[in-house]
Structures are given as structure tokens and as C-alpha cells.
């Protein structure tokens, strides 16, 4: 079961949620605040647990309600283009590699694109990951136009029948309007070549930063219109409760969570499985 696979990876966050006690408001609220759900949601959830006859089971249901969002449902004409954005150090390039592995394992024909033309050796790093994932890659040179690289890659993918194109963009601060404009350009160029693309624009968020990620996520969403989030570095952090205020602020779904450094340490997000990993199965909490 997915929740069992996640449970041991989310041990620090699980430890905090295990402190929730329907009979002790202060302990419950303190645990939720330490998990970085924020004061507003800590109070809301504490009230919910205290008033409910089912206690912790009610907490599970309420968190699921707060973090579930409808996914973009479509069956695009291949290739499906997925653009991955994020700030420096958020795990963006490794996420692209893990996504490539995820789709390749399903028998899909995948190509990754190094549109990060700012960082030294970025293309070389992605090339190493592409070999591990067993997928093709379009490389780039330092200083090259990222939008042009993406254009060439999508052109090749259309001509050669790829199922997925995964575009690794340069890490950029949300406060740099010039860099956000470049991100818009990449999206615009891809859309001109293949109308409706990119079908997905995913933002990687370092879960260990907790609520500090909200402002950057809002800026990226305003710039390019995110379709989903990837929460990285969920293993070993106690701040993963920030998923609640982050989803609330952006109103976009979490698509994947990363819980380790290995290429297969990426899981499609399932709200029920995620919360069960934190709180326990129905049998454990009744």
C-alpha cells in the first residue's frame, strides 16, 4: 500500500501528528504549529478534532478535504509537454529525472530537455540523470536561449513520436521579474509550436522550507499559471504540514511528492494515502 511506503519516509512529520490528542487542545495545536500548518489552520483543525465525536479520524478527513484539489483532466495529443520550474536548490533537475524514470517505467517514450542555460554543468548533470532513467535528452550550452532549446526539443518529439517531453528550466528567484519573463517566453514558444502546450507546468517546492515557500509559489503561479506542485525533500522534515496553507494559497493540486534522493523516490500524490501515512489507517485510529 502507498501509505505504508510513505509512512517510514515521513517519520518526523508523522511524529508530530501522533501527538494529536482530542482531549488536549494545547498539545494538539502545538503539534500542528510545529508541523508548520500555520496558526490559522492549527486552530481550525484543533477545533475540528475537539468538536468531533470521531476525534483523530475526523482530523484525517478534514486534512484530506483541505489538500485535495481537482487535477487537470485531459488526453493530449502526444507528446505531452511538462515544464518544471522552481527556485535554485528546490530539487528541480532531480525531479525531472525522477519524472522521466516514472514515465519510462510505464513504457512511455520520454525525452528530457536541458533548458537551464544559466547554471554551469546543468546540462551535464541532467545528462547523467537521463542515462540512469534510460531516456533521451536534448542538451544545451551555457548562455544559450532556453526557449530555443525547448522549441527544438518539442519539434524533435513531435517528429519522432515521443510520449513525454520534460523541460528542465533554470532555477530562478521569484523576485527576479526578468527571469520570470524568460519562463513566460519558454511557455509561449512551446505553445506556438504545439497549441495547448505545455500541458503541465509543475513547480518544485522544498518541503523543508515550510510556509516560507508560499510567497515564491504565488509569484510563479501568477507568472505562468501552474497546473500542479511537486513537494520535494519530504523525507526527514517536520515542516511538511505546510502543504495545507500552500495548497490553500495556490488552489492547485499536488501532483507528486519526493521522499528521497534515489531515482525512484517519487510518488504520485494521493491525499488519502498521504494523510494515512501521517495519522494511521482507520483500524489504527479507531
Distance CA 181, CA 168 (A): 16
Mean pLDDT (the chain) is: 90
Q: How far apart are the first and last CA of the chain?
A: 19
What single DSSP character describes residue 170? P
pLDDT digits (tens, 9 = 90+) for 117-170: 877 778 899 999 999 999 999 998 887 888 999 999 999 999 999 999 999 998
Instruction: Report the DSSP beta bridge partners of residue 204.
Output: 230
Q: How confident is the model at residue 285 (pLDDT cuts 50, 70, 90)?
A: very low
> Are residues 113 and 26 part of one domain?
no
> Are residues 180 and 254 part of one domain?
yes
Whether 204 maps to a domain, the answer reads: yes
> Are residues 132 and 50 part of one domain?
no
> Are residues 46 and 103 part of one domain?
no
> Are residues 117 and 23 part of one domain?
no
Whether 74 maps to a domain, the answer reads: no
H/E element, 284: helix 282-285
Burial of 80 (0-12, 13-18, 19+ CB in 10 A): buried
> Are residues 108 and 86 part of one domain?
yes
Distance CA 4, CA 158 (A): 39
> Are residues 100 and 56 part of one domain?
no
pLDDT: which is higher, 87 or 6: 87
Q: How confident is the model at residue 174 (pLDDT cuts 50, 70, 90)?
A: low
The contacts of residue 276 (CB under 8 Å, 6+ apart) are 3, 60
The contacts of residue 72 (CB under 8 Å, 6+ apart) are 199, 200, 227, 228
Q: How confident is the model at residue 5 (pLDDT cuts 50, 70, 90)?
A: confident
Instruction: Report the DSSP beta bridge partners of residue 256.
Output: 230, 268
pLDDT digits (tens, 9 = 90+) for 28-52: 999 999 999 999 999 999 998 888 8
CATH number of the domain residue 112 falls in = 3.40.50.300
Whether 264 maps to a domain, the answer reads: yes
Q: Which three cell numbers stand for residue 285?
A: 485510529
pTM: 0.92
Three-state SS string across 101-114, please? HHHHCCCCCEEEEE
Edge to edge, the sheet with strand 254-258 lists 136-138, 110-115, 164-169, 80-85, 200-206, 228-232, 254-258, 266-268
What single DSSP character describes residue 236? T
Q: Which three cell numbers stand for residue 51?
A: 468538536
Q: How confident is the model at residue 175 (pLDDT cuts 50, 70, 90)?
A: low
Whether 155 maps to a domain, the answer reads: yes
Q: Measuring CA to CA, how many Å separate 273 from each of 60, 79, 238, 261, 265? A: 10, 30, 18, 21, 16
The pLDDT of residue 281 is 65
53 is in which domain, residue-wise? Answer: 2-69+278-285
Place of cell 503539534: 31
The backbone torsions φ and ψ at residue 65, rounded to the nearest 5 degrees and listed phi first, read -60, -40
Whether 15 maps to a domain, the answer reads: yes
Angle between helices 122-133 and 92-104 (to 10 degrees): 20
pLDDT digits (tens, 9 = 90+) for 210-231: 888 898 899 999 999 999 999 9
The backbone torsions φ and ψ at residue 163, rounded to the nearest 5 degrees and listed phi first, read -90, -35
Whether 20 maps to a domain, the answer reads: yes
Q: How many domains does the chain have?
A: 2
Contact present, 226 and 23 (Cβ < 8 Å) = no
The contacts of residue 74 (CB under 8 Å, 6+ apart) are 199
Q: How confident is the model at residue 1 (pLDDT cuts 50, 70, 90)?
A: low
> Are residues 162 and 203 part of one domain?
yes
Contact present, 144 and 170 (Cβ < 8 Å) = no
Amino acid at each position: 500500500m502507498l501509505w505504508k511506503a510513505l509512512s517510514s519516509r515521513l517519520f518526523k512529520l508523522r511524529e508530530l501528528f501522533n501527538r494529536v490528542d482530542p482531549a488536549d487542545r494545547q498539545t494538539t495545536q502545538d503539534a500542528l504549529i510545529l508541523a508548520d500548518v500555520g496558526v490559522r489552520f492549527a486552530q481550525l483543525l484543533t477545533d475540528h478534532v475537539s468538536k468531533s465525536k470521531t476525534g483523530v479520524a475526523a482530523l484525517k478527513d478534514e486534512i484530506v478535504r483541505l489538500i485535495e484539489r481537482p487535477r487537470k483532466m485531459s488526453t493530449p495529443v502526444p507528446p505531452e509537454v511538462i515544464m518544471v520550474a522552481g527556485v535554485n536548490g528546490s530539487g528541480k533537475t532531480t525531479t525531472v529525472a525522477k519524472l522521466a524514470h516514472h514515465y519510462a517505467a510505464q513504457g512511455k517514450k520520454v525525452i528530457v530537455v536541458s533548458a537551464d542555460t544559466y547554471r554551469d554543468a546543468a546540462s551535464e548533470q541532467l545528462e547523467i540523470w537521463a542515462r540512469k532513467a534510460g531516456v533521451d535528452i536534448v542538451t544545451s550550452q551555457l548562455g544559450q536561449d532556453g526557449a530555443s532549446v525547448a522549441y527544438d526539443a518539442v519539434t524533435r518529439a513531435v517528429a519522432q513520436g515521443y510520449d513525454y517531453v520534460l523541460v528542465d528550466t533554470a532555477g530562478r528567484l521569484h523576485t527576479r521579474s526578468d527571469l520570470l519573463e524568460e519562463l513566460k517566453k519558454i511557455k509561449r514558444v512551446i505553445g506556438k509550436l504545439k497549441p495547448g502546450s505545455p500541458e503541465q507546468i509543475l513547480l518544485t517546492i522544498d518541503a523543508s522550507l515550510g510556509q516560507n515557500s508560499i510567497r515564491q509559489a504565488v509569484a510563479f503561479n501568477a507568472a505562468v499559471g501552474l497546473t500542479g506542485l511537486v513537494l520535494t525533500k519530504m523525507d526527514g522534515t517536520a515542516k511538511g504540514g505546510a502543504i495545507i496553507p500552500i495548497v490553500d494559497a495556490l488552489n492547485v493540486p499536488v501532483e507528486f511528492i519526493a521522499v528521497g534522493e534515489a531515482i525512484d523516490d517519487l510518488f504520485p500524490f494521493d491525499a488519502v494515502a498521504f494523510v494515512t501515512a501521517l495519522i494511521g489507517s482507520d483500524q489504527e485510529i479507531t
